[in-house]
């Protein structure tokens, strides 16, 4: 079989070692003669798995003891509603920074539940940059500040926040979690759908500071009620057991790879290779402000869009698949999450050079 390198934005590729281990254990997990999919989430074996997954999560990300980690369902999108429902105080409002389509979607959903103050938006630029801190309008009485540190579609990543945010910071880290070390204590709440860097879809991670786990609005469904879910170790109802198991394998793999420091450096190296090529060519164009280029999602366009379909066809023939950009941006997008080996990036770059020579 030809090697396939999958640049999909999500669901994304998983580490090969993880897939092989899962395959090996598929029919007979822990010598039980059963698949992990077939055992009770309340069984001793599954509870051990759940616990070790959480321990590894805490260790890898350096999650302090006063934070809970919840293993939920419904994707990041359900958190767009869960966050305002759980964190809004009576009659409160919340601050939203909009630097891409996901931030806008989360803001629209929040508007169902509270008043939203848009701190700043880069929509008029086509989401290619982050508004200057001095143009941010933070409000004084908001329940929280929400932003999207990595916008998966337009490829905009924010590393720093201004120091004058005095309310809990909430971050949608769906496409950036586990890609580099972060200081969890800077955040009140972090959430992420699993299907980019954690495992298969179906699992959603919420990391929330304990003092923010309050009695939410009385209309909050129990499965997205952080208090109910945390008091029940994310097992108020049946959790997504297979996705949870796969996430556990991914975390073990990350530890073997040396943790977030090494994977962070590797991610930097991989993305730099692609950006260096783009910057050295007249043929490929990145529209994103250099200061905010994403390390995980790299959109680029060809100077002649009529070559797009040929680019996609020829790259796919070489096993470089899912490079088509999001329909709202056009062109190409290379998503290079943790599981993308450096050799996959090298193959992509070789192909891009070859293609430029042929058609440029
Ligand atoms: C993929 C993605 C989402 C949507 O996640 P679902 O799990 O499909 O709900 C939200 N936010 C960001 C930043 C994403 O990358």
Is 135 considered catalytic here?
no
For residue 3, being part of any structural domain is answered with no
Same domain for 265 and 186, yes or no, is no
- Decide if 181 is inside a domain: yes
In a domain, 2, yes or no: no
**251 and 270 fall within a common domain:** no
Picking from 256, 282, 303, the residue at the C-terminal end of a domain is 256
* Residue 4 maps to a domain: no
Residue 217 falls inside a structural domain: yes
- 101 CB under 6 A from ligand 1? no
State whether 212 and 242 are in the same domain: yes
The pTM for the full model equals: 0.98
Cα of 301 to ligand 1 centre, how many Å? 23
pLDDT tens digits for range 318-334? 999 999 999 999 999 99
Same domain assignment for residues 84 and 172: yes
| The domain boundary residue, chosen from 194, 227, 256 | 256
Residue 152: CB within 6 Å of ligand 1? yes
Mind listing the pLDDT tens digit for each residue in 47-88? 999 999 999 999 999 999 999 999 999 999 999 999 999 999
Residue after which a domain boundary falls, among 256, 283, 303: 256
- Are 293 and 205 members of one domain? no
CA-nearest residue for atom 7, ligand 1, is 75
> What residue's CA is closest to ligand 1, atom 2?
174
- Domain with 199 in it: 17-256
Domain of residue 65, CATH code: 3.40.640.10
Q: Are residues 251 and 265 in the same domain?
A: no
Q: What CATH number is associated with residue 318?
A: 3.90.1150.10
Tell me the pLDDT tens digit for each residue of 145-165. 999 999 999 999 999 999 999
Question: pLDDT of 212-221, one tens digit each?
Answer: 999 998 899 9
Q: Is 310 a member of any domain?
A: yes
pLDDT value at 1 more than 60: no
Residues 166 and 191 grouped into a single domain: yes
pLDDT digits (tens, 9 = 90+) for 201-213: 999 999 999 999 9
Q: Is residue 147 part of a domain?
A: yes
Pick the atom of ligand 1 nearest to 76's CA: 9
Do both 220 and 134 map to the same domain? yes
How many domains does one find in the chain? 2
Q: What is the 3-state secondary structure (H, E, C) of the chain?
A: CCCCEECCCCCCCCCHHHHHHHHHHCCCHHHCCCCHHHCCCCCHHHHHHHHHHHHHHHHHHCCCCCEEEEEECCHHHHHHHHHHHHHCCCCCEEEEEECCHHHHHHHHHHCCCCEEEEEEECHHHCCCCCCCHHHCCCCCCEEEEEECCEECCCCEECCCCCCCCCCCEEEECCCCCCCCCCCHHHCCEEEEECCCCCCCCCCEEEEEEHHHCCCCCCCCCHHHCHHHHHHCCCCCCCCCHHHHHHHHHHHHHHHHCCHHHHHHHHHHHHHHHHHHHHHCCCCEECCCCHHHECCCEEEEEECCHHHHHHHHHHHHHCCEECCECCCCCCCEEEECCCCCCHHHHHHHHHHHHHHHHHHC
Confidence grade of residue 3 (pLDDT, cut at 50, 70, 90): confident
| Residues 208-267: tens digit of each pLDDT | 999 999 999 889 999 999 999 999 999 999 999 999 999 999 999 999 999 999 999 999
Do residue 176 and residue 46 come from a single domain?
yes
Regarding whether 299 and 221 lie in a shared domain, the answer is: no
Task: Clarify whether residues 198 and 343 are in a common domain.
Answer: no
Residues 209 and 304 in one domain: no
The answer to whether position 25 is within a domain reads yes
Please give the average per-residue pLDDT across 159-179, as a whole number.
Answer: 96
Q: 172: Cβ below 6 Å to ligand 1?
A: yes
């Amino acid at each position: 079989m030809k090697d396939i390198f999958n640049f999909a934005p999500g669901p994304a590729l998983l580490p090969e070692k993880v897939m092989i281990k899962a395959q090996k254990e598929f029919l007979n997990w822990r010598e039980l003669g059963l698949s992990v999919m077939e055992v009770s989430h309340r069984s001793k074996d599954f509870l051990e798995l759940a616990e070790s997954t959480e321990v590894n999560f805490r260790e890898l990300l350096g999650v302090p003891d006063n934070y809970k980690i919840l293993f939920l369902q419904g994707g990041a999108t359900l958190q767009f509603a869960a966050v305002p429902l759980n964190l809004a105080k009576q009659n409160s409002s919340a601050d939203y920074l909009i630097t891409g389509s996901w931030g806008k979607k989360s803001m629209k959903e929040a508007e169902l539940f509270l008043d939203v103050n848009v701190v700043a938006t880069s929509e008029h630029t086509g989401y290619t940059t982050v508004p200057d801190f001095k143009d941010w309008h933070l409000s004084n009485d908001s329940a929280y500040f929400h932003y999207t540190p990595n916008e998966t579609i337009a490829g905009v990543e924010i590393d720093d926040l201004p120091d004058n945010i005095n309310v809990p910071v909430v971050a949608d880290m769906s496409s950036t979690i586990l890609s580099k070390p972060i200081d969890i204590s800077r955040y009140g709440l972090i959430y992420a759908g699993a299907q980019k860097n954690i495992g298969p879809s179906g699992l959603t991670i919420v990391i929330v500071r304990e003092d923010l786990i309050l009695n939410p609005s009385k209309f909050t469904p129990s499965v997205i009620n952080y208090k109910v879910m945390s008091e029940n170790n994310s097992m108020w109802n049946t959790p997504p057991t297979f996705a949870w198991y796969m996430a556990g394998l991914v975390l073990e793999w990350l530890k073997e790879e040396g943790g977030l420091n090494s994977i962070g450096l590797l991610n930097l190296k991989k993305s730099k290779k692609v950006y260096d090529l783009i910057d050295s060519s007249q043929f490929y164009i990145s529209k994103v402000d250099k200061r905010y280029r994403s390390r995980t999602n790299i959109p680029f366009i060809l100077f002649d869009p009529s070559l797009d379909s040929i680019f996609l066809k020829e790259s796919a023939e070489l096993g470089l698949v899912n490079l088509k950009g999001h329909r709202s941006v056009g062109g190409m997008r290379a998503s290079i999450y943790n599981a993308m080996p450096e050799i996959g990036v090298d193959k992509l770059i070789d192909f891009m050079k070859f293609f430029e020579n042929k058609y440029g």
